[in-house]
Amino acid sequence: MTIREFKMPDVGEGLTEAEILKWYVQPGDTVTDGQVVCEVETAKAAVELPIPFDGVVHALLFEEGTTVDVGQVIISVQTGEAEAPAPAAAAVEPAPAAAEPAPAARQPVLVGYGVSEASTKRRPRKAAPAPAVAAQNGTAAPVAAPAPAAPAAPAPLPAVPAQPSGERPLAKPPVRKLAKDLGIDLASVVPTGDGGVVTREDVHAAAAAAITPQAAAPAAAPAAAPAAVAAPVAQAAAPAVDASVRETRIPVKGVRKVTAQAMVGSAFTAPHVTEFITFDVTRTMKLVQELKADPDLAGLRINPLLLIAKAVLVAIRRNPDVNASWDEAAQEIVLKHYVNLGIAAATPRGLIVPNIKDAHAKTLGELSESLSALVATARDGKTSPADMQNGTITLTNVGVFGVDTGTPILNPGESAILAVGAIKLQPWVHKGKVKPRHVTTLALSFDHRLIDGELGSRFLADIASVLEHPRRLITWS
């Protein structure tokens, strides 16, 4: 009999810590080599951790919600043929609803939101201490069906035909994320997909079924029903209802923590210069409509951002020195002969900047596919750390919020970032007459160590020129 320890690995590239989001096992559970035992959140992605050996869980050394340094032991497992030890004293875990052990044949997903067991809701961040106290002062059994799950588990769900007992529901990662966001337990959803796979339509149907019965309930029931369905919103807004609570403190962790560190480091390391240009993009908007009707591009997402990205790539080809980085240690400027085009994406976990690898080598159709995949992956929370490494230049589209422009801060290690403002109909002088035209403003921030004013100005002017006269996408390519 041997007690083996499993340490928090470096699940990204040089990450130093991760937060434990959910334990899938409890002390006394049997685990097999490759079985996912927990889900952790790094500064860049949510990651499932498989354990690399067989045995019986001896102790969980950290509670859910705890930030753990890389290299620290997070779980101990007793190997050999002995019976499982009594884990009461060893477990510090508040013992949420017990998860069924994952089947041995399950393929672990090391990066991104993988095939994890759906929970009715994400753990409550502010209310987390209360379940922990309950778990320590009570027995494990009452905690398995307690207050943490109650707000997010709609009462009518047990009436829905459930999955066979002991089996993990089959569903793709985006569907699991959807179920988590809607507060739906996948185990209670009737699958209609091939091979018993739960689809997005199944989850929406389960959510609708959870709400419909409550509409017919007595007068007292409707008051409680919305609270159950909208638990995450209600919890977030609760402090504002209490007039005695004037401030709420939110721990800085995960994406927010790393974003803050990166922005401060960038702002006070790279000397920023921001230039602006306002111009007519009417021809580009017409081209967007023509491309949407092109049979060769059928099924692809064609929008102004796609053509702006293409214009940036054309401008980089004309001004290759803007695509560089500063090596402080070697005191060298590193010219990049490739473009990994970053796209700033706002996600529920915070701002992330995944990038399209080798964007310079892609056709317009390939760029559209890559852009759509990048956005979908970010929205579903599956962006991997590798997807956010080695960017060269970034686009941030503040125009989607109706904002005209801004002064963006460089993504660390990159030479420039382009902010795209809202495209609006404005009076504009065109061919000697004032006419309504589609107008936008671009803002380019760049590292003045790498890019002087002349180069930065030519680069920004070239981007605007391509978008004002999109035929240059061909003549300058």
Task: Please report the sign of the dihedral spanned by the C-alpha atoms of residue 456, residue 459, residue 462, residue 467.
Answer: negative
Structure tokens at 409: 């801060």
CA pair distance 393, 316, nearest whole angstrom: 10
Structure tokens at 308: 């702006």
Of the candidates 309, 339, 307, which has an alpha carbon nearest to the alpha carbon of residue 322? 339
Active site residue: 58, 272, 430, 448, which one? 448
| Beta carbons within 8 Å of 226's beta carbon, 6+ residues apart | none
Q: Is the Cβ–Cβ distance between 97 and 144 less than 8 Å?
A: yes
CA pair distance 253, 291, nearest whole angstrom: 43
Strands 17-23 and 67-69 come out as antiparallel
CA pair distance 477, 475, nearest whole angstrom: 6
CA pair distance 460, 361, nearest whole angstrom: 21
Of the candidates 67, 74, 27, which has an alpha carbon nearest to the alpha carbon of residue 49? 74
Q: Is 448 a catalytic residue?
A: yes
- Catalytic (active-site) positions: 448
